[in-house]
Amino acid sequence: MLGSLAQLSIDFTGMMRSACRVGNSQTSTRRPSAFAVLAFGAAVMAVFAKPGFGPIYHTIMGNACDAQIELIAGADWVDFTLGDKGLEAGASRSASPWAKASLEDYKQVCEIKLPSETATVAELRERIECHRTQLALGPGSYEEAVDLLTQVRRIINAAQKDADADVGWSNMKVRWARSVHGVLQRRCEELAAKIRILRTKPVKGLLESALKVLRALRGLDVPFREARTSLEQAMKALSARATSGDWDSAEEVFELEGLLGQARVALLDVVREARILAVALPQRHEQVRRALSCNPDLLVDLEGLALQEAQVDKGAGPKFALGRYWSEISVSSSDAPFFTRHRPTSKWVDGPGKWRVPFLMARAEALMMQGEKASLGAEKSDRGASRALRLYQHAKFLALGHYGGAAEWRYRVSAALAALHQREQLAAHSFTRLALFLSLHRREQEALNAADEALKLAPEPVAKLLHVTLRRKLGELRTDEEVRMAEKTLIEIQGKLPLRTLEEQRSTTVAELAVWRKVADNGKFSTCFELVDAARTLICVIGRLAFSS
């Protein structure tokens, strides 16, 4: 009897490997039909359903599946990513006989291990581990991944109340939480990357792709909720062990708290990117109008979820991400279709320096500052630079609205903050905008000082223009050499200025400097009368008389 069973187990394992196309043969590529696999599975279940065969079934199937889990999950020769087109495998493969195992092979082996209603904690744990490895391999589509998350959640919820007392069960929950977080993180990064690409191109020509990405965003709800629930349950299970003096568990709780914060930041950031894309959509276009008529509140719930989750998290990352989100809305020129409508300038409050600013802008600046101060290391520097950029955008918005004092304060803080975090280009840009702002308000000496500060950091073309024109206006171009250098500087920045008005100012100044250089080089009174403009002729004659004496 025992010999027959042993032989049966050998034959069964061989048949299973053959069906899964993961045997020793490296050249076989033929896959069994779906009917053959189902028939084979039914026959196996019929045999092992007989009395006395249950333990043997679990032993054989468990060992075979565990072996495949170890070989597939532990392999370092496959690089899988989850994308719209499904599983993409790296080209590098080892010589292992299991190297050609596919996701479908894995499914055919592990899906047989269906837990019954009376399954033990160990059996449920084993099934979840199967799904976890299946998730690591990358399901055929994102929808399949979401379905897999739902299945595992049902299994976890079906576990007995005392399951957390099982150390293996709590360890499994930690591993599952990390896996789900990885799926969510990859999906958020993937969608954010697609949105950033779309934002660099004319949206009108890519409406179908833009609307498709926005619709895909709704699918983040399930994986985020599963990641949050899994991480919270894992932390709860570990906290019980940490209170009893398990330092490793306490450290892992801290790490999982960080992962939950990362999940909240990832969700809010991709929603922010999507909102910016939605603002750029041509709402009068027929395709956009149809989409709005079908579901005008497409992303309202997801946006609400992302904001709510960021608000309850006290970590530096979520706090800063929330501030950056409100910052984008506070300077937005129009509503974003498919999202909640906000009124960024409906309420004004006292901001820094006692200058009144929109409430959302003040709230955004406070949150970003709190998030930056709570950060450490490289993250602190990155968030400081990001805050400097947002303050720069706030200053531009306020300057356009003629809120001079509030704009000036933000230009100065933005420049100082960027310089502090060694973002010289951004600091120079902020100083340049400040110089331009001050010059428009007839504060020439302050504007010149700001332009000089900008040029100490980076060779900004606008700062060079302001440096020359302001020095000339203030009478600081006193020698021939200074005039020649000024003319040379203006010639060098030709075609590099961002506005047509600035380019016109540059060309006019170059022409005038060239005229006066010609007058200076000639040295005769007759040259003065060659100037068409009467005022220039008079200035030239007076200058000749003054300097000739």
- Of 94, 93, 106, 90, residue with least CA distance to 22: 106
Q: Is there a domain that residue 444 lies in?
A: yes
Q: How far apart are CA 108 and CA 41, in angstroms?
A: 9
Single-letter code of the amino acid located at 481: E
Task: Give the domain extent around 381.
Answer: 343-455
Residue 511 pLDDT: 81
What per-residue confidence (pLDDT) applies to 528?
67
401 by DSSP, 3-state: which?
coil
Residue 177 inside a domain? The answer is: no
Structure tokens at 113: 């291990």
Does 535 reside within a domain?
no
Q: With respect to residue 335, please indicate whether it lies within any of the assigned structural domains.
A: no
Kindly report the number of other CB atoms within 10 A of residue 43's CB atom. Answer: 11
**pLDDT for residue 462:** 94
Residue 364: CATH number of its domain:
1.25.40
- Assess contact for 318 and 264: CB atoms under 8 A: yes
Cα–Cα dist 305/229, whole Å: 14
Q: How far apart are the first and last CA of the chain?
A: 130
Predicted confidence at residue 162, as pLDDT, reads 55
* Residue 351 confidence (pLDDT): 81
Q: Is residue 253 part of a domain?
A: no
Domain count, the chain: 1
- Please give the C-alpha separations between residue 378 and each of 258, 417, 421, 449, in angstroms, as whole numbers: 16, 15, 10, 31
Q: Which residue has the tokens 């065969």?
A: 53
What distances in angstroms separate CA 231 from CA 138, 172, 223, 471, one per listed residue? 20, 12, 12, 62
Q: Which pLDDT score, from 0 to 100, does residue 104 have?
A: 57
As a whole number of angstroms, the distance between CA 249 and CA 256 comes to 10
Domain membership of residue 128 (yes or no) is no
Residue 379 in any domain: the answer is yes
Give me the torsion for CA of 317, 320, 325, 327, rounded to 10°. Answer: -170
pTM of this prediction? 0.72
**Residue 428: Cβ-neighbour burial (10 angstroms; 0-12, 13-18, 19+):** buried
CB 77 within 8 A of CB 94: yes
SS3 for 18-61 is HHHCCCCCCCCCCCCCHHHHHHHHHHHHHHHCCCCCHHHHHHHH
CB atoms within 10 A of CB 174: 21
Position 530 scores a pLDDT of 58
> In degrees, to the nearest 5, what angle opens at C-alpha 127 toward C-alphas 124 and 132?
125
Please tell me the predicted confidence (pLDDT) of residue 235.
Answer: 92
Q: For position 520, what pLDDT does the model report?
A: 65
Please give the chain's pLDDT, 549 residues, in tens.
434 434 444 444 444 444 433 333 333 444 444 444 444 444 434 443 444 434 333 333 334 333 333 333 332 222 323 333 332 333 233 333 323 345 555 455 455 444 555 567 677 777 777 777 767 766 667 777 777 788 778 777 776 555 656 677 778 888 889 989 998 999 999 999 999 999 888 877 788 899 999 999 998 999 999 999 999 989 988 888 888 777 888 899 999 999 999 999 999 999 999 999 999 999 889 999 999 999 999 999 999 999 999 999 999 999 999 999 999 999 987 889 999 998 877 789 988 777 899 999 999 999 999 999 999 999 999 999 999 999 999 999 999 999 999 999 999 999 999 999 999 999 999 999 999 999 998 999 999 999 999 999 999 999 999 999 999 888 888 787 888 888 889 988 988 998 888 988 888 888 877 776 666 666 655 566 555 566 666 666 666 555 555
Residue 382 in any domain: the answer is yes
